[in-house]
Amino acid sequence: MAVISRGERVLVIRRSNEVPFPDYWSPVSGKIEPGERQEAAVVREVREELGMAVLPVSKVWECPSSDGAYWLHWWTAELADETAVLVLDPREVSEARWIHPGELRSFENVFEADVQFFEEIFPARLD
The CATH number linked to 104 is 3.90.79.10
What residues have CB less than 8 Å from 73, skipping those under 6 apart?
Answer: 1, 32, 38, 59, 62
Instruction: Determine the 3-state secondary structure of 87 from DSSP.
Output: coil
What is the reported pLDDT for 125? 58
Average pLDDT over residues 20-30: 95
Q: Could you write out the three-class secondary structure of 32-84?
A: CCCCCCHHHHHHHHHHHHHCCCEEEEEEEEEEECCCCCCEEEEEEEEECCCCC
CA 105 to chain centre: 15
Q: Work out the end-to-end distance of the chain between its first and last CA atoms, rounded to an integer number of angstroms.
A: 21
Percent of the chain with pLDDT over 90: 83
DSSP 127: -
The predicted structure's pLDDT at residue 127 = 45
Domain span including residue 11: 2-126
Give the count of domains, the chain.
1
Summary mean pLDDT of the chain: 93
pLDDT tens for 58-82 read 999 999 988 888 899 999 999 999 9
Closest by CA to 111, choosing from 72, 77, 83, is 72
Tens-place pLDDT, residues 87-108: 999 999 999 999 999 899 999 9
